[in-house]
C-alpha cells in the first residue's frame, strides 16, 4: 500500500456527528475564537456554535461560514498533531478551506472570498429562483437524457461517483427533475438548501467582477499541491489558484475523477477536514486501495 496522505475539505455540513466540539476542545482548539474572528472580519454578530440551534444551518451564507470555520479548525488540529498532507482537494465550496490548508490564503481572506461570492451572486439570484439537487441511483447519461427530453433549465454540475450526481438550475425544473428521477428508479433525491446555482454557466455573469476581486487578495504559492476538481490538474502557483477559484464557480466539477487522480498519485490515506462525514460516506462508492482515517480517533 502507498503511503501518501491527502486532506479533503467538504463544502456544506448536512449532519453533525456531535463530537466535533469535544474533539476540538480536547486539543485546545476553540471554535469560538474562529467565529469571533469571522464576526470581526464580516462585521456580523456570529454566536457560538450550538448543535441544537439552526442558526447556521438554514441560511446559505452562514452555512458556508460555519463549514469553512470547522474545516480550518480541523486542518489546524491535524497540523498540531503532526499530520501533514501530500495533496489537498476541496469539494465545491470546500475549495476555500483547502486554500487555507495549503497556506495559500489566510483565514481572513477565505472569509472575504466567501462573502464576495455570495453577494456578487445577488445579481444572479435577482433574475429568478435557482437551486440545486442531488440524485442517487441514476447515471450521468440517464439524468442528461431527462434534462434534454423535458427541456429543463438545469446543468449537471458535479459527479460524486458513477451513481451520485448534483445539478444546478431553475428551482422549478430542479423539482421536476427530482420527481422524474424517482419515477425512473432513483434510490434517493433531495433538494439542497441553496439558492445559488453554483458550478454552472448561470454564474458566468459575475466571473469578471469576482476575478478582479481575487486579484486584490494576497494569494501565495501552495505549500501543499492542490488538485483541481474542474480538470484534476495539480495547482501550486497563485495565477493557477485564481483561475481555479473562477472555474469553481462557473464550470462543472467532478469529485469522482478528483479522488481517482489522487489515488493515481499514490495517495492511500485521506482525512476529511471538516464537521460531519459527508466525504467519508461518499468514498464508500469510490473504488481503490485507500483508507479514510477519522480525525475523531486522533
pLDDT in tens, 10-57: 999 989 999 999 999 999 999 999 999 999 999 999 999 999 999 998
pLDDT in tens, 239-284: 999 999 999 999 999 999 999 999 999 999 999 999 999 999 999 9
**Residues 6 or more apart in contact with residue 284 via CB below 8 angstroms:** none
Superfamily for domain range 4-123+201-297: Malonyl-Coenzyme A Acyl Carrier Protein, domain 2 (3.40.366.10)
Is 7 within 8 Å of 101 (Cβ atoms)? yes
* Domain definitions of the chain by residue range: 4-123+201-297, 130-191
Confidence of residue 1 (pLDDT cuts 50, 70, 90): low
Taking residues 227-250, what's their average pLDDT? Answer: 98
State residue 124 phi and psi, 5-degree precision.
-75, -50
Identify which of 25, 77, 78, 13 has the alpha carbon closest to the alpha carbon of residue 51.
13
Grid cell of 58 as nine digits: 438554514
Residue 279 belongs to what H/E stretch?
helix 278-283
Grid cell of 20 as nine digits: 466535533
Architecture of the domain spanning 130-191: 2-Layer Sandwich (3.30)
pLDDT in tens, 129-143: 999 999 999 999 999
Amino acid at each position: 500500500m502507498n503511503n501518501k496522505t491527502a486532506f479533503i475539505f467538504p463544502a456544506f455540513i448536512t449532519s453533525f456527528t456531535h463530537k466535533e466540539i469535544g474533539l476540538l476542545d480536547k486539543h485546545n482548539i476553540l471554535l469560538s475564537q474562529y467565529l469571533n474572528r469571522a464576526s470581526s472580519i464580516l462585521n456580523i454578530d456570529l454566536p457560538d456554535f450550538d448543535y441544537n440551534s439552526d442558526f447556521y444551518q438554514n441560511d446559505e451564507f452562514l452555512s458556508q461560514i460555519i463549514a469553512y470555520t470547522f474545516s480550518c479548525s480541523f486542518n489546524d488540529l491535524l497540523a498540531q498533531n503532526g499530520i501533514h498532507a501530500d495533496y489537498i482537494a476541496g469539494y465545491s465550496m470546500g475549495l476555500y478551506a483547502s486554500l487555507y490548508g495549503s497556506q495559500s490564503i489566510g483565514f481572513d481572506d477565505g472569509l472575504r472570498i466567501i462573502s464576495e461570492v455570495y453577494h456578487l451572486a445577488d445579481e444572479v439570484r435577482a433574475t429568478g429562483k435557482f437551486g440545486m439537487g442531488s440524485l442517487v441511483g441514476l447515471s450521468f447519461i440517464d439524468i442528461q437524457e431527462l434534462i434534454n427530453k423535458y427541456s429543463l433549465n438545469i446543468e449537471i454540475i458535479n459527479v460524486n461517483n458513477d451513481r451520485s450526481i448534483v445539478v444546478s438550475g431553475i428551482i422549478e425544473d430542479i423539482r421536476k427533475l427530482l420527481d422524474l428521477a424517482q419515477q425512473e428508479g432513483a434510490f434517493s433525491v433531495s433538494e439542497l438548501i441553496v439558492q445559488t446555482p453554483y458550478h454552472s454557466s448561470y454564474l458566468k455573469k459575475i466571473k469578471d467582477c469576482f476575478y478582479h476581486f481575487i486579484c486584490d487578495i494576497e494569494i501565495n504559492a501552495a505549500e501543499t499541491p492542490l488538485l483541481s476538481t474542474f480538470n484534476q490538474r495539480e495547482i501550486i502557483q497563485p495565477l493557477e489558484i485564481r483561475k481555479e477559484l473562477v472555474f469553481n464557480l462557473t464550470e462543472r466539477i467532478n469529485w469522482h475523477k478528483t479522488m481517482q487522480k489522487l489515488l493515481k498519485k499514490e495517495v492511500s490515506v485521506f482525512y476529511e477536514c471538516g464537521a460531519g462525514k459527508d466525504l467519508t460516506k461518499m468514498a464508500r462508492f469510490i473504488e481503490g486501495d485507500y483508507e479514510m482515517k477519522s480525525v475523531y480517533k486522533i
